[in-house]
Structure 1
Amino acid sequence: MKSTQRREGRRVRRRLATLIAGAAVVGIALAGCSGSGSSGSGSISIMNRWSDPVGKVAAQHLFDGFTKATGIKVQNQVQPNSGSTYQPAVRTALSSSNPPSLASDISGPEVYNFAKSGVIQDITSFYNSTIKSRALGGAVTGNTYKDKVYGISTGYNVGNLIWFNPDYLKKFGIEASSIHTFEDMLAAMKKIKSAGGNAAVIGAKDQWPGGHYLNDLVQRALGSKETQQLYDRSVSAGQPDTPKWTDPEVVNALQSYVDMKPYFQDGFLGEAQATADSLFLKGDVGFYEMGSWFLNTIQAQPPSFTPGVMLFPPFKDGKGKGTDITIANSVLMVSKKADTKSVEKFLEYFSRPEVASTYQKESLSFMPYKTNSSALDVDKSIKTQWNTISGFVKDTGSDGSALYNDQGIDVNIYTKYIWQGSVGLMSGDITPQELAQQLESATEAAQKANG
Structure 2
Amino acid sequence: MTSMQKGSSILGASVSRRRLLVGAGTAIAAASLFSPAVAKGGEVKIISNLGGAEQRAVLARVAAAYEAKTGVKVVINNMDHEAHKTAIRSYLAVGAPDICFWFSGNRMKTFVVRDMFDDISDLVAREGLADKLGVTLSAVTVDGKQYGLPMAGILWGLFYRKDVFAEKGWAPPKTYAEMLALGQSARSAGMAPMAMGTKELWPTGGFFDHLNLRINGLDKHMALMEGKVAYTDPMLKPVFDTWEELIKADFFSPNGSSFGWEQAGAMLAQKKAALMDLGGFVQSAFPKEERDQIAYAPFPELVSGMARYEDFSVNSIHIPKKAANKEGARDFLAFFYAPENLGDFIEAEGGIPPRNDCPPSKDALVNTAVEELKKVKGTAQYYDRDTDPDMAQEGMKGFQEFTIKPERREQILARLEKTRARVFK
Q: TM (normalized to structure 2)? A: 0.67
Does the C-alpha gap of structure 1 residues 137 and 217 become closer, same or farther in structure 2, counting only changes over 3 Å? Answer: farther
Matched, 1:115 2:112: yes
Distance, in Å, in 1 between the alignment partners of 2:132 and 2:217 is 23
Distance, in Å, in 2 between the alignment partners of 1:266 and 1:81 is 29
Spell out, residue by residue over 1:7-54, the C-alpha distance to the aligned partner (whole angstroms, 9 max, x if none).
xxxxxxxxxxxxxxxxxxxxxxxxxxxxxxx94556786432349975
Distance, in Å, in 2 between the alignment partners of 1:48 and 1:81 is 11
Does the C-alpha gap of structure 1 residues 271 and 57 become closer, same or farther in structure 2, counting only changes over 3 Å? Answer: closer
2:268 to 252, 271, 280: 280
State the Cα distance separating 1:411 from its structure 2 match. Answer: 5.3
Per the alignment, residue 358 of structure 1 pairs with 344
Matched, 1:160 2:156: yes
Per the alignment, residue 130 of structure 1 pairs with 128
CA contact (8 A) 1:153 1:332 kept: no
State the Cα distance separating 1:297 from its structure 2 match. Answer: 1.7
Per the alignment, residue 24 of structure 2 pairs with none
Percent identity over the alignment is 13
Aligned length: 378
Does the C-alpha gap of structure 1 residues 362 and 293 become closer, same or farther in structure 2, counting only changes over 3 Å? Answer: closer
Distance, in Å, in 1 between the alignment partners of 2:335 and 2:278 is 33
State the Cα distance separating 1:444 from its structure 2 match. Answer: 1.9
Paired residue secondary structure (1:186): helix
Spell out, residue by residue over 1:399-450, the C-alpha distance to the aligned partner (whole angstroms, 9 max, x if none).
955443345545554444423434325533233x6644443331121123xx
2:212 to 218, 242, 246: 218
Distance, in Å, in 1 between the alignment partners of 2:192 and 2:402 is 22
Does the C-alpha gap of structure 1 residues 148 and 229 become closer, same or farther in structure 2, counting only changes over 3 Å? Answer: farther
Paired residue secondary structure (1:78): strand
Per the alignment, residue 287 of structure 2 pairs with 299
Q: Superposition pairs for residues 75-224 of structure 1, below 5 Å?
A: 75-79=73-77, 81=79, 83=84, 85=87, 87-93=89-95, 100=98, 102-107=99-104, 111-123=108-120, 127=124, 130-135=128-133, 140-141=138-139, 143-146=140-143, 148-155=145-152, 158=154, 160-170=156-166, 173-176=169-172, 179-180=173-174, 182-183=175-176, 185-189=178-182, 192=185, 198=191, 200-203=193-196, 206=199, 208=201, 209-221=203-215
1:428 to 401, 406, 411: 406
Does the C-alpha gap of structure 1 residues 317 and 419 become closer, same or farther in structure 2, counting only changes over 3 Å? Answer: farther
Does the C-alpha gap of structure 1 residues 367 and 72 become closer, same or farther in structure 2, counting only changes over 3 Å? Answer: same
Matched, 1:259 2:252: no
Distance, in Å, in 2 between the alignment partners of 1:315 and 1:210 is 18
State the Cα distance separating 1:260 from its structure 2 match. Answer: 1.9
Paired residue secondary structure (2:354): coil
Distance, in Å, in 2 between the alignment partners of 1:320 and 1:43 is 54
Matched, 1:329 2:315: yes
State the Cα distance separating 1:331 from its structure 2 match. Answer: 2.6
Does the C-alpha gap of structure 1 residues 285 and 364 become closer, same or farther in structure 2, counting only changes over 3 Å? Answer: closer
Per the alignment, residue 27 of structure 1 pairs with none
Larger relative contact order (C-alpha < 8 A, sep ≥ 6)? Answer: 2
Distance, in Å, in 2 between the alignment partners of 1:418 and 1:110 is 15
Distance, in Å, in 1 between the alignment partners of 2:277 and 2:182 is 13
CA contact (8 A) 2:195 2:276 kept: yes
Q: Which runs of 5+ in 1 are unaligned?
A: 1-37, 234-240, 376-385
CA contact (8 A) 2:46 2:76 kept: yes
Paired residue secondary structure (2:361): coil
State the Cα distance separating 1:296 from its structure 2 match. Answer: 1.9
Spell out, residue by residue over 1:121-165, the C-alpha distance to the aligned partner (whole angstroms, 9 max, x if none).
434586489324333886653x34456431112336x37231223
Distance, in Å, in 1 between the alignment partners of 2:365 and 2:417 is 36
CA contact (8 A) 2:214 2:303 kept: no
State the Cα distance separating 1:369 from its structure 2 match. Answer: 2.5
Does the C-alpha gap of structure 1 residues 85 and 118 become closer, same or farther in structure 2, counting only changes over 3 Å? Answer: closer
Letter aligned with residue 154 of structure 1: M
Distance, in Å, in 1 between the alignment partners of 2:306 and 2:136 is 19
Distance, in Å, in 2 between the alignment partners of 1:415 and 1:292 is 23
CA contact (8 A) 1:47 1:104 kept: no
Letter aligned with residue 355 of structure 2: Y
Distance, in Å, in 1 between the alignment partners of 2:303 and 2:137 is 28
Does the C-alpha gap of structure 1 residues 207 and 53 become closer, same or farther in structure 2, counting only changes over 3 Å? Answer: closer
Per the alignment, residue 18 of structure 2 pairs with none
State the Cα distance separating 1:85 from its structure 2 match. Answer: 4.5
Spell out, residue by residue over 1:237-292, the C-alpha distance to the aligned partner (whole angstroms, 9 max, x if none).
xxxx5355445544433332223221516845676456644543343643222333
CA contact (8 A) 1:137 1:393 kept: no
Letter aligned with residue 430 of structure 1: R
CA contact (8 A) 1:159 1:325 kept: yes
Distance, in Å, in 2 between the alignment partners of 1:410 and 1:66 is 37
Letter aligned with residue 45 of structure 2: M
Letter aligned with residue 354 of structure 2: P
Does the C-alpha gap of structure 1 residues 350 and 201 become closer, same or farther in structure 2, counting only changes over 3 Å? Answer: same
